[in-house]
Structure formats: structure tokens, C-alpha cells
């Protein structure tokens, strides 16, 4: 069904889609948590509120299929939270299927303004309604009430005054409702018409009316009350039992005589008094949604400002030696110092705009693990740690696919079947821990399982069979070095291919993605105990600190996070070991390269310094001619034509206007990788 929206409604639609995506993003994790702990009332209420919000937004836009799906799922959760239904795995399967259809509907609505027709969702609606009605067999009376409510709504909506009068006649036999003076008369009529319902339930009644019968102004007023945490009791000043039929007439005159009744109900006004405070707090913590392109543009402008600051600082240092006006130089330095602080603060704030918690992708994994574990007949508990850790959005977006592949590997190859685990005296259910934490300017993301681990000897044997390494290299390799063979293209240790993993593709892609983000990936494993895969990633991809080095008349930038140590170059420490040279340093042996040799450049001056650089599991030594110190730089991409150049991560412009290439040492030695297996 194609939906047409006016320009004004399109803006509301965009807001709805963003809110719906956030709700659904959290739902997968919340539903799996609920399946593990079905009596968690707070979680049930949270999911119920999410579905209610989704239904309300869809109702405002007239998205009938989404309204109906959200309503029946919301009704199921209403039964669950009221203890009228018990949750089990099969019920959750049906609920998740319904959520998936809502998710797909939101995606098609976003991309093409299309939503499913009612006949398209007939099957899942039947399943969900059967689920709802199946549990109502024990409480048939309540089920009758539920099904009758929508049928009785329409005539009341068409003829509101008589409906309200009828209700008032019924209520007049029991009590009179006196509202606070600021309560909208239309809201008063609704409350009188639905005396046994709260604000949320009254809103449901309006949303479920046909589009032409919905009073959108009333719906918005009710939404505003819900946002203010107000319910029916907060709007009612007093409910008084009627002793005579004429009691309603003199209500204002009898108010003084009812003072004791008001005094007895002081808890109600007290409850009302603090209401404005939470509302204020909500307004203070309110957020706005900004298009990511605008943030990226702002980040680029701040990057240019950082470059301008660096240039001004360099120019000032030149003036200091040529200017006799010491006082002017001091004032200039003070002004530059103040500007530098402001630019740094601005840079930090703008960088934080791009930061998002890893929960945005972590929240998808409880559902993934649940479905895959069920598919392969394993019992697996997923633990999430450090979900609030923040990382640059562009890194987070690229991290999702590698994480999914690693989790699938843990489920398929790592965690043993229940009977095998029991035979090994392990708990029947395996555990996968997905965690994130910040260490300095790096984010550490790891996936750990308590499964069968990796057999290093089996890895070496497979690598020899595939011609990836020689038997001599295998003998020299440690277990940790053997694990790195898993990241070679086409490598796989499984004898039988499954539909989850094991086709020899994926792990090399995972490593390539992490390396493209200037990160590192490593494996630790203990046969029979489990495996841990750790990824170390930069906080942001836009601005980094680097070490400026020189070779001949060229200047290069090396990311500072990969620099381990800098030492003086001494020819006597360099030894020939096989094909390559090695550096001997404090009883350690490091593979040694001249930077100019890696680029096939002619050597300039005599090497003066050696930089120990970390490239994953190992450190290597690289000789350079000159050191120019640390500098904060803005990374500029090389563009489509040069993006695949080995050894170059990007470029930057220094304070004196020069274009400097940023080195990626790991990719620089990629062409030598096979020869270096067992060496680094």
C-alpha cells in the first residue's frame, strides 16, 4: 500500500520513523531478556510502553497495518504484565515474527512510503490473535470484554454527547466527578465516558477508531498528558458519593462542606504537586535529531580550524626569532594559547557529536544468538558488557558485520552441543561474552566464549595442506602466531561446511575491515576452555595524534598509538637473519626495515633513529632519517583513485602547508606477509 504525505506530514513521518527505529532497535534485546526472565515486571512495562508509543505514532499517520500489528502485540504484553498469560519460547517466536514484520514495514515506509496491505499481514495477525485468544480460554469473560470494546466505540464516536450522557446517567447513581479547573472539557467528557480506563487506555480507544472518526486534537492532548506522567487521578479533584439525585446541582455551593473529604484525599494533591519538577527535568535533558551529514560537515570545518591553528603556531615560532618587540610576541602567544584551548574544546565537543554507544549494535545480538542457537540445537547465554562505551559512528557502522560473523563462528564452531558439554563437566548452556571498554584513545571490543577452543596444531596442519606455510615455518611458530593464520584468505579448519560459517570466507574480511579502521585484531585460545577475539579500534577516524618522521626530503606521519618506542640507530645492533634483517634490543629480536626500502625510495641522509612499531601481535623496527615530533592532524582521504594504495592510510596538511602522507605499516608489508609467517 503506497502512502501519500503532504510536506508538513512528511516531517512528522520522518520523526515517527526515527522514533520507531529506536524502539525496535531496543526491542530485540529487551524481548530476549524477557524470555530469560518472564516475570520482570519493569521490562514488561517497558516493552508495553514501546509498543504503545509505536502504535500511537502509526495511528497519527494512519498506517493501518502497523497500527493493527502493534495493537495486538501490545495487547499480548498487557496480558503478560497483568499475569493473565505466561510467556514461553513458542509464544516468543510468534511475537518476534510480528516484530520483524513491523521492522520491515518501517524500512519500506522509509525507503518508498510503502506499507503492507492488511491481507499481506493476515497470516501473522491470525497467529498473534490466536496467541491472544488461546490464553483467554481460562478467562473467557475478560476476552469477551476485550473483543467488544472496539465494536462499541464507533457509535459512541459518531454520537459523542448521547454516549457521554448515558455514562453520566449510570455514574450519577454512584458518584460525581469534580475535575481540576485547568482540565480540558473534552478530556473530562472522555474520562466520564470511559470511567474504568486510564489515560493510556482511553488513548488506545481513540487510535483504534477509523481514520475519519479520529479526533487528532484529542489524541495530541492525551499524548501530552502521558508525556507529563499524568493519569486520570491527577486530573480529578474529587469523587463524591451521591446521596440524592439533586446532589450534582448544588455542587459549587456544597464545596465548603466537602472540605473534610478533600482533606482526607490530601495524598492526591501531594502527588500532583511535584509533577512539574519531573517535567522540567525532561525538558532539560531533551535531545534533537541532526542529520549525520551536517555533523560530518561540522567535523570537517573543525578539522580545517585545527590545521589553521597549527599553521599559526608555526608562524608565531618563526616570528619569535625575527621580532624585537618582546611584549607583542608575549601577547601573541597568549592569544594563540587561548585560541588553541578554544579550538581543542570545540574539537572535543564536535567529536562527541559523532560518538554513539556500542549498545546501538550490541542490542541486536541477543536476538541473533537466540535464533542461531535454536537453529543448531545449542543452549547459549549471551552476556553484554560495556554497552555505554562510545565510539565514532562511522567506525560503529562498519563494526556490525565483523561482529556478526565472529558471533556466528562462536556459536557454530566454539560452543559445543549440550551433550558434549555435559560429558566434559561443563554447564549445559555455553556462554558468549560481548564486551567493550575504552583504554586511552582506543576502544577494545572483544568476543569470548567458553567453548572447545582452537587447536593450534590443527591450524598449522591445515595451513601446510593449503600451501600457506612450510613445515619449517610451522615448527617455528608459537600458538598465538598459528591463530593468526585464521585471518588468511580462504583458510578454514572445519571438515564439514555449515550454513552458519565454515566456508573459508569471512575471517580475512573481518581482519581487513578492522585494519581499514586503523585497528588491530588478535586471538587468544585455550583448547577445551574457550576462545577470545579482541579488536582494538581508534575512538575516532577524523583527528589523530601522529609522530612526524623524515626520509630524505620526504615527511611521513605515523599514528602515535602504534608507536611503542624510539631509539638511536646503531649499525652494530642490526643482524642478517635469513632473507630479512633483525634488530637486537635488550635480548629481544625485531624484524628490521628501512622506511625508504619499504617505499622503494632512494635513501637520503644517514639513518639516525629506529621506531619500534606495533602491528598486531608483533612489533617491528623501522629506521628513519629524522624525527620532527608529535602533531595532531586531520586525516584527509586520498579519493577513489588512490584509496587502495598499500601502506598509505590517508594524507594531511601540516602547519607549514605541506601535504604529508599517513603511514599504515601493516598494509605496507602485506606483500611480504607469506614470507614473514613465523617471523612476525
Q: Give the active site residues.
A: 52, 74, 409
Are 268 and 233 in contact, with CB atoms under 8 Å apart? yes
**Residue 633, class by beta-carbon neighbours within 10 Å (0-12 exposed, 13-18 middle, 19+ buried)?**
buried
* Spatial strand order in the sheet of 543-551: 626-634, 543-551, 554-559, 659-663, 648-653
Give, in degrees to the nearest 5, the angle at Cα 247 between 246 and 251: 125
SS3 state at 457: helix
Measured from the Cβ of residue 88, the count of other Cβ atoms closer than 10 Å reads 10
Give the Cα separation of 377 and 55 in Å (integer). 35
Joined together, the cell numbers standing for residue 609 give 633513529
Q: How far is C-alpha 650 from the geometric centre of its chain's CA atoms?
A: 27
| Cα–Cα nearest to 409, from 452, 444, 463 | 452
Give the helix/strand (H/E) hosting 618: strand 618-624
What CA–CA distances, in Å, run from 121 to 97, 110, 114, 286?
11, 18, 14, 36
Closest CA to 402 of 568, 300, 519: 519
Check: CB of residue 628 under 8 Å from CB of residue 310. Answer: no
SS (H, E, C) 290-326: CCHHHHHHHHHHHHHHHHHHHHHHHHHHHHHHHCCCH
* Cβ-contact 519, 512 below 8 angstroms: no
* Residue 361 φ then ψ, to 5°: -105, -30
Distance CA 633, CA 538 (A): 14
**Burial of residue 146 (number of CB atoms within 10 Å: 0-12, 13-18, 19+):** middle
Is the Cβ–Cβ distance between 99 and 73 less than 8 Å? yes
DSSP for 218-286 reads HHHHHHHHHHTT--HHHHEEEEEE-SSTTTTTTHHHHTGGGHHHHHHTTHHHHHHTTTHHHHHHHHHT-
Rounded CA separation 573/127 (Å): 75
Maximum Cα–Cα distance for the chain, whole Å?
Answer: 112
Cell numbers for 379:
543452549
For residues 183 and 250, is the Cβ–Cβ distance under 8 A?
no
| Residue for grid cell 522514533 | 19
User: Which positions ≥6 away from 499 have C-beta within 8 Å?
Assistant: none
The radius of gyration computed from the CA coordinates of the chain, to the nearest angstrom, equals: 33
- Rounded-to-integer distance, Cα 618 and Cα 678, Å: 11
- Cα–Cα distance measured from residue 238 to residue 268, given in angstroms and rounded to the nearest whole number: 9
Any idea which residue has 632473507 for its cell? 579
What is the DSSP annotation of 630-646? EEEEE-B---TTTTT-T
Amino acid at each position: 500500500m503506497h502512502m501519500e504525505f503532504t510536506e508538513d506530514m512528511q516531517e512528522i513521518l520522518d520523526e515517527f520513523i526515527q522514533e520507531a527505529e529506536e524502539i525496535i532497535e531496543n526491542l530485540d534485546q529487551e524481548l530476549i531478556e524477557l524470555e530469560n526472565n518472564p516475570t520482570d515486571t519493569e521490562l514488561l512495562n517497558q516493552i508495553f510502553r514501546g509498543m504503545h508509543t509505536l502504535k500511537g505514532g502509526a495511528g497519527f499517520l494512519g498506517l493501518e497495518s502497523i497500527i493493527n500489528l502493534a495493537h495486538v502485540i501490545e495487547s499480548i504484553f498487557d496480558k503478560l504484565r497483568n499475569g493473565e498469560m505466561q510467556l514461553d519460547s513458542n509464544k516468543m517466536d510468534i511475537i518476534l515474527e510480528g516484530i520483524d514484520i513491523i521492522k520491515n514495514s518501517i524500512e519500506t515506509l522509509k525507503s518508498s512510503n510503502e506499507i503492507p496491505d492488511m491481507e499481506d499481514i493476515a497470516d501473522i495477525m491470525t497467529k498473534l490473535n490466536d496467541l491472544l485468544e488461546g490464553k483467554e480460554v481460562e478467562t473467557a469473560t475478560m476476552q469477551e470484554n476485550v473483543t467488544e470494546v472496539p465494536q462499541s466505540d464507533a457509535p459512541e464516536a459518531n454520537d459523542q454527547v448521547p454516549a457521554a450522557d448515558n455514562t453520566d446517567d449510570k455514574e450519577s447513581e454512584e458518584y460525581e466527578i469534580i475535575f481540576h479547573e485547568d482540565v480540558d472539557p473534552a478530556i473530562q467528557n472522555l474520562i466520564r465516558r470511559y470511567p474504568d480506563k486510564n489515560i493510556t487506555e482511553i488513548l488506545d480507544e481513540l487510535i483504534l477508531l477509523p481514520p475519519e472518526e479520529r479526533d487528532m486534537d484529542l489524541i495530541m492532548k492525551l499524548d501530552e498528558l502521558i508525556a507529563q506522567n499524568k493519569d486520570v487521578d491527577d486530573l480529578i479533584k474529587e469523587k463524591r458519593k451521591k446521596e440524592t439525585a439533586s446532589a450534582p446541582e448544588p455542587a459549587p455551593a456544597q464545596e465548603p462542606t466537602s472540605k473534610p473529604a478533600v482533606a482526607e484525599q490530601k495524598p492526591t494533591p501531594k502527588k500532583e504537586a511535584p509533577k512539574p519538577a519531573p517535567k522540567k527535568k525532561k525538558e532539560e535533558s531533551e535531545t534533537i535529531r541532526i542529520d549525520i551529514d551536517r555533523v560530518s560537515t561540522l567535523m570537517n570545518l573543525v578539522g580545517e580550524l585545527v590545521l589553521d591553528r597549527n599553521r599559526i603556531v608555526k608562524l608565531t615560532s618563526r616570528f619569535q626569532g625575527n621580532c624585537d618587540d618582546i611584549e607583542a610576541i608575549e601577547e601573541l602567544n597568549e592569544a594563540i594559547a587561548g585560541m588553541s584551548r578554544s579550538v581543542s574544546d570545540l574539537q572535543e565537543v564536535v567529536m562527541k557529536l559523532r560518538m554513539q554507544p556500542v549498545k546501538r549494535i550490541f542490542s541486536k545480538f541477543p536476538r541473533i544468538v537466540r535464533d542461531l542457537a535454536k537453529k543448531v540445537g545449542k543452549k547459549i547465554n549471551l552476556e553484554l558488557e560495556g554497552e555505554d562505551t562510545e565510539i565514532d559512528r562511522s567506525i560503529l557502522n562498519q563494526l556490525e558485520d565483523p561482529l556478526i560473523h565472529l558471533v556466528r563462528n562462536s556459536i557454530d564452531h566454539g560452543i559445543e552441543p549440550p551433550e558434549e558439554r555435559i560429558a566434559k563437566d561443563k554447564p549445559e548452556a555455553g556462554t558468549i561474552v560481548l564486551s567493550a571498554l575504552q583504554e586511552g584513545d582506543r576502544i577494545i571490543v572483544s568476543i569470548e566464549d567458553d567453548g572447545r577452543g582452537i587447536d593450534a596444531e590443527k591450524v598449522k596442519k591445515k595451513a601446510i595442506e593449503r600451501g600457506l606455510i612450510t613445515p619449517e615455518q610451522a615448527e617455528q611458530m608459537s600458538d598465538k602466531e598459528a591463530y593468526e593464520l585464521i585471518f588468511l584468505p580462504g583458510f578454514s579448519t572445519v571438515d564439514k561446511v555449515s550454513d552458519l560459517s565454515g566456508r573459508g570466507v569471512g575471517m580475512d574480511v573481518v581482519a581487513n575491515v578492522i585494519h581499514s579502521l586503523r585497528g588491530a585484531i588478535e586471538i587468544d585460545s585455550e583448547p577445551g576452555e574457550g576462545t577470545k577475539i579482541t579488536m582494538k579500534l581508534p575512538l575516532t577516524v577524523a583527528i589523530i595524534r601522529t609522530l612526524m618522521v623524515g626520509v630524505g626530503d620526504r615527511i611521513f606521519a605515523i599514528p602515535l598509538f602504534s608507536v611503542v618506542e624510539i631509539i638511536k640507530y646503531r649499525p652494530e645492533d642490526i643482524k642478517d637473519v635469513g632473507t630479512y634483517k633483525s634488530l637486537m634490543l635488550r635480548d629481544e629480536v625485531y624484524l628490521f626495515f628501512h622506511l625508504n626500502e619499504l617505499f622503494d625510495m632512494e635513501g637520503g641522509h644517514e639513518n639516525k633513529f629506529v621506531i619500534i612499531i606495533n602491528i598486531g601481535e608483533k612489533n617491528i623496527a623501522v629506521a628513519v632519517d629524522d624525527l620532527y615530533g608529535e602533531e595532531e592532524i586531520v586525516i584527509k582521504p586520498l579519493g577513489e583513485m588512490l584509496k587502495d594504495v598499500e601502506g598509505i592510510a590517508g594524507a594531511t596538511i601540516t602547519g607549514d602547508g605541506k601535504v604529508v602522507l599517513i603511514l599504515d605499516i601493516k598494509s605496507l608489508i602485506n606483500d611480504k606477509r607469506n614470507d614473514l609467517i613465523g617471523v612476525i
